[in-house]
A and B are shown apart, each in its own frame.
Chain A
Amino acid sequence: MKTLQEVQAEVVADFSMYDEWLDKYEYLIDLGRNLEAFPEERKTEDRLIKGCQSRVWLDTTVEGDRLYFRADSDAIITKGIISLLIGVYSGRTAREIAEDDFSFVDQLGLRENLSPTRANGLASMIETLRRTAQNLL
């Protein structure tokens, strides 16, 4: 199995292939479209991530010491971003996630290029992943 850092480096490499922001968005939209379907009955208030302009739901399953994430959003670009995140973190151990510094998100350039309200949403998504893992340690 690849290390978390290796997976992150691959995601950064994939994303940096696109020079134009519109192309990066096309890529995120594609990721969003292909995200595994999220069960409607799990779109509950407690799975909703606060601080996003669009609605984002995150559902976590724990198997042994590993965390598995599923997510959905009513906005497709957000869905693409969360797909990137759970693609990296789903299946990792609670310790790996809790100890990660999430700096690969900065390498994607998403933080500075998303609007401040969206950047808050991204920060909320990361914080939720981190806290979920932290709570299991």
Chain B
Amino acid sequence: MTQIEKIRQEFPELGEQVYGKALVYLDNAATSQRPLSVIRKWTEMSEKYNANLHRAVHRIADLATSEYEATRDAVRAYLNAEFREEIIFTSGATASLNLVAYSFGEAFIHEGDEILVGEAEHHSDIVPWQLLCQRKGATLKVLPVDDGGQLRVDLLPGLLTPRTRLCCVAHISNVLGLVNPVKEIVNICHSNNCAVLVDGAQGIVHARVDVRNLGCDFYAFSGHKVYAAPGTGVLYGRREWLEQMPPFLGGGEMIGTVRWSGSTWAPLPQKFEAGTQNIAGTPTLRPALETAEALRDPAIEAESEKIKELILNKLQNDPRIRLYGVPKTPEEKIPLFSFSVEHVHHEDLALILDKMGIAVRSGQMCAEPLMDRFGVTGMLRVSFAPYNTVQEAEYFIASLDRAINMLVG
């Protein structure tokens, strides 16, 4: 048995069939499949450690809290954050981004200030900033991408003004699959006293994230895209920012004292963890990140590289196909490919591929402004995970041809 076959056995969903055919799951950028270690932890938390966190003195509450806080240590270590209180647990990247939009916004954004957002961002990294700008009378500015989908970092210095307080970019675009030069962006922004938030929803899966090396002020990601339970997520924030930011949600363990005359807040990280937390889900981040680490194995990475080469070769050389997110070097592209086919609707292709057993994504991929940028109503996206095989990539290519022939006739 090859190493990849062994790994696939750890992910029960990968052994499923659809319409009597083996499932070929190529929608990993939407959500990844979960390994047994995650499923077991999730179950274990429900079966053995189900109590509310931090509050009670009883044994089970103590065990649950230990699991939860050990997860925080594991995430801190994984991201190489300096302090454990810089790790805030949330329900996902969207919640993390909204937390910053509210709390950073309350503390630091005033009328006439500016927020800069990348053109290829997910709606979750656009709409919270629009809401913030409306609330504060601030201005939202856009850092564009070029025709190949590359972020125009060369335009960044010119777009930054003394009023630009925050720049928000994805580590890796969920549509283009291109790795943005985050370190360079951070350097430029910081030399203009502008903070940087990184949407790491895809980055956490495909890059080795070191927040101190990146130098960013905030890094947000969801658990469910990186093998953990849904409804889990992380916000990394530099301590000096988090300390100055007011709470986002009120209630539960985020309080210091509550009086009719006014309340005080718990220290970090509890200040930002209001209400009952995802007791069973959040601890799955630990085995999930261990999985991510284990999948960064030379043999598996070689398979991923081969897949990337095969798919890029197909999508870039077939004259009927237009690829969005064209890499200048192979390293800057993850195995995530969005494309359109001449005279073919993306949804028709997705429906036919589905009947061939292949799960793909069609539509706007939560990035309408980017669809407008490329003048399309939607795209087709295939996104591979390290557990996908070269055979699956070959089957996808053959199936794509067959589907196009059915539709073009």
Q: Which residues of A contact B (CB under 8 A)?
A: 21-22, 25-26, 29, 33, 53-55, 74-78, 114-115, 118
Task: List B contacts of A77 (CB < 8 A).
Answer: 347-348, 351-352
Task: Name which residue of chain B comes closest to A30, CB basis.
Answer: B409
**B: which residues have CB within 8 A of A?**
19, 345, 347-348, 350-352, 354-356, 362-363, 377-378, 406-407, 409
In the bound assembly, the distance between CA atoms of A74 and B377 in angstroms comes to 10
Indicate which residue in B347, B352, B406, B407 contacts A54 across the interface (CB closer than 8 Å): B347
**Is the Cβ of B347 less than 8 Å from the Cβ of A53?**
yes
Residues of the B chain whose Cβ atoms lie less than 8 Å from the Cβ of A22: 352, 355-356, 406
Instruction: Find chain B residues with CB under 8 A from A54 CB.
Output: 345, 347-348
Q: Known: A22-B352, A25-B351. Contact between A74 and B406, CB under 8 A?
A: no
Question: What residues of A have a CB within 8 angstroms of the CB of B351 in the complex?
Answer: 25, 77, 114-115, 118
Known A-B contacts A29-B406, A53-B363; A75 and B352 likewise in contact (beta carbons under 8 Å): no
**Which of A21, A29, A78 sits near B409, CB closer than 8 Å?**
A29
B347 A25 Cβ-Cβ under 8 A = no
Q: How far does the Cβ of B356 sit from chain A's closest Cβ, in whole Å?
A: 7
Complex alpha-carbon distance, A21 and B378, angstroms? 24
Which residue of B347, B356, B377, B406 contacts A26 across the interface (Cβ within 8 Å)?
Answer: B406
Given A25-B406, A26-B406, A29-B406, CB of A115 within 8 Å of CB of B354? yes
CA distance A26 to B355 in the complex (A): 12
Contacts of A118 in B (CB 8 A): 347, 351
- B345: chain A residues at CB < 8 Å are 54, 74-76
- For the complex, give the distance between the alpha carbons of A45 and B15 in Å: 45
Q: Which of A25, A33, A53, A76 contacts B355 (CB 8 A)?
A: A25
Which residues of A are found within 8 Å of B362, using beta-carbon distances? 53
> Can you offer 10 A-B residue contacts whose CB atoms are under 8 A?
A21-B19, A21-B355, A22-B406, A25-B406, A29-B407, A53-B362, A76-B348, A77-B347, A77-B351, A115-B350
Given contacts A22-B406, A29-B348, A115-B350, 18 further A-B contacts (CB under 8 A): A21-B19, A22-B356, A25-B351, A25-B352, A26-B406, A29-B406, A33-B409, A53-B347, A54-B345, A54-B347, A55-B377, A76-B345, A76-B348, A76-B407, A78-B347, A114-B351, A115-B354, A118-B347
Q: Taking chain A's interface residues, is the majority helix, strand, or loop, or is none over half, making it mixed?
A: helix
Q: Separation in Å of the A87 CB from the closest CB of chain B? A: 20
- Name the A residues within 8 Å of B19 (CB-CB): 21
CB proximity of B396 to chain A, nearest CB, Å: 16
Closest residue of A by beta carbon distance from B356: A22
A33 to B343, CA, bound (A): 13
Chain A contacts for B406, CB-based, 8 A: 22, 25-26, 29
Instruction: With A53-B362, A53-B363 as known contacts, state yes or no: A75 contacts B355, CB within 8 Å.
Output: no
Min Cβ gap B335→A in Å is 24
CA A75 to CA B377, docked complex, whole Å: 11
Q: How far apart sit A118 and B363, CA to CA, in the bound complex (Å)? A: 12
A52 — nearest CB in chain B belongs to which residue? B347
Q: Is the CB of A75 within 8 A of B356?
A: no
Residues of B close to A29: CB separation below 8 A: 348, 406-407, 409
Residue of A nearest to B402 (CB): A22
Q: Which residues of the other chain, A, contact B348 by a CB distance below 8 angstroms?
A: 29, 54, 75-78
CA distance A115 to B352 in the complex (A): 11
In the assembled complex, the Cα of A54 lies from the Cα of B362 at a distance in Å of 10
Chain A residues positioned under 8 Å from B363 (CB to CB): 53
Closest to A22 in B: B355
Task: List the A side residues contacting B352 at CB < 8 Å.
Answer: 22, 25, 77
Return the chain B residue nearest A33 by Cβ. B409
A22 to B20, CA, bound (A): 13
With A and B bound together, what is the CA distance between A25 and B409 in angstroms? 13
List the B side residues contacting A21 at CB < 8 Å. Answer: 19, 355
Bound Cα distance A118, B362 (Å): 12
CA distance in complex: A25, B356 (Å): 12
CB distance from B375 to the nearest CB of A (A): 14
CA distance A72 to B355 in the complex (A): 24
Q: 9 nearest interchain CB pairs?
A: A75-B345, A21-B355, A75-B347, A75-B348, A77-B348, A54-B347, A53-B347, A76-B348, A22-B355
Q: Please name the residue on chain B nearest to A80 by beta carbon.
A: B348
Chain B CB within 10 Å — which of A33, A55, A77 has the most? A77
Return chain B residues, CB-CB under 8 Å to A114.
351
Pick from B19, B351, B352, B378 the residue with the most CB of A within 10 Å. B351
| Complex Cα gap A114–B19 (Å) | 12
A49 to chain B: closest CB distance in Å? 14
Task: Return A71 CB to nearest CB of chain B, in Å.
Answer: 15
Assembly CA distance A114 to B362 (angstroms): 14
* Shortest Cβ distance from residue A118 to the other chain B in the assembled complex, whole angstroms: 7
A44 vs chain B, min Cβ distance (A): 17
